């Protein structure tokens, strides 16, 4: 309200106070805007520490509020304690990160695993596979004539054979006796056979005693072979070396021991396998 006096005009105290409050409010608003201008603050902070420039606007604001709260709590400004030297957020000590991508490559006897850890660093781990730890398959069958056959196969993670073992039981061709045949083969890491062994025990007359024993050993890596036949008091051995040369020796035995008598010359006739 204004009062008019001769030569003077007086403004009431209420009007003057209102104008002053309005001016102060505008000044406070301008000061507050300048204080909370995080964009300008971030530019200024970046001049002192380049790590601030690598943050997003939201992350920078969060970091400012965190440091202000830290200072109010009496801990001071801890100079980007939540970020590492590259401007990246530090992982919480109680937080575990599961790799989002994991690649497993199995080759031969080695398994290679590749993944990114919680800090984004690529990690490669190699593990040596143990032999004969792949799949194991067992088979059993019975033939119409009563012959039984049991087999066991072991393969590695690549599907390559590592071991084969077979046991066959049946009757002799005459029908009076029985036989048991056991075969075993071993393979290298690439599935190539290294060596094999076959043993055949025959009871020709069915009296429960072994009348004939046939044993064959083959070493594929060395290229050698050895055959031993025990039958009728005689032991016959045939050997083949890596050059393909074959020699056969035979001598009489008595209850499993050599008598030193009845030796035959080299290249003696080798009994049939059966």
- Reported confidence tier of residue 5, pLDDT bands at 50, 70, 90: very low
Q: What pLDDT shows up at residue 98?
A: 47
Q: Residue 158: which residues within 8 A CB-CB, separation 6 or more?
A: 106, 107, 108, 134, 191
Q: Is residue 234 within 8 Å of 253, Cβ to Cβ?
A: yes
- pTM of the predicted structure, to 2 decimals: 0.48
The two tokens of residue 88 are 């990246």
The CATH architecture annotation of domain 135-258 reads: Beta Barrel (2.40)
Q: What pLDDT shows up at residue 81?
A: 61
At 246-259, the pLDDT tens digits run: 999 998 876 545 44
Supply the DSSP string of 82-149, one letter for each residue: TB-TTSPBPPPTT-----S-EEEEEETTEEEEEEE-TTS-EEEEEEEPPTT-SEEEEEEEE-TTS-EE
- Taking the C-alpha atoms of residue 266 and residue 44, their distance in angstroms, rounded to an integer, is 101
At 120-161, the pLDDT tens digits run: 778 888 877 665 457 888 888 888 888 899 999 888 877 888
Domain ranges for the chain, please list them: 11-90, 92-129, 135-258
């Amino acid at each position: 309200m204004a009062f008019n006096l001769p030569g003077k005009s007086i403004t009431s105290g209420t009007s003057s106070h209102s104008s002053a409050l309005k001016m102060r409010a505008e000044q406070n608003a301008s000061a507050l805007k300048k204080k909370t201008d995080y964009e300008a603050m971030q530019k200024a902070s970046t001049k002192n520490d380049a790590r601030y420039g690598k943050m997003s606007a939201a992350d920078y604001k969060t970091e400012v509020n965190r440091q202000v709260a830290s200072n109010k709590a009496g801990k001071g400004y801890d100079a980007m304690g939540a970020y590492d030297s590259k401007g990246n957020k530090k992982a919480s000590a109680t937080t575990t990160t599961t790799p989002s991508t994991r690649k497993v490559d199995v080759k031969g006897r080695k398994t290679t695993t590749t993944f990114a850890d919680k800090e984004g660093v690529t990690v490669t781990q190699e593990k040596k596979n143990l032999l004969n730890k792949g799949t194991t398959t067992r088979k059993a069958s019975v033939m119409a004539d009563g012959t039984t056959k049991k087999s066991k196969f072991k393969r590695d993670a690549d599907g390559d054979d590592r071991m084969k073992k077979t046991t066959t039981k049946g009757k002799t061709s005459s029908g009076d006796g029985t036989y048991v045949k056991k075969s075993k083969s071993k393979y290298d890491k690439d599935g190539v056979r290294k060596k094999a062994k076959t043993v055949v025990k025959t009871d020709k007359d069915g009296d429960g005693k072994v009348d004939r024993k046939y044993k064959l050993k083959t070493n594929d890596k060395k290229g050698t072979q050895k055959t031993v036949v025990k039958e009728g008091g005689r032991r016959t051995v045939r050997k083949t070396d890596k050059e393909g040369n074959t020699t056969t020796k035979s001598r009489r035995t008595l209850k499993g021991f050599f008598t030193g008598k009845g030796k035959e010359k080299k290249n003696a006739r080798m009994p049939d396998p059966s």
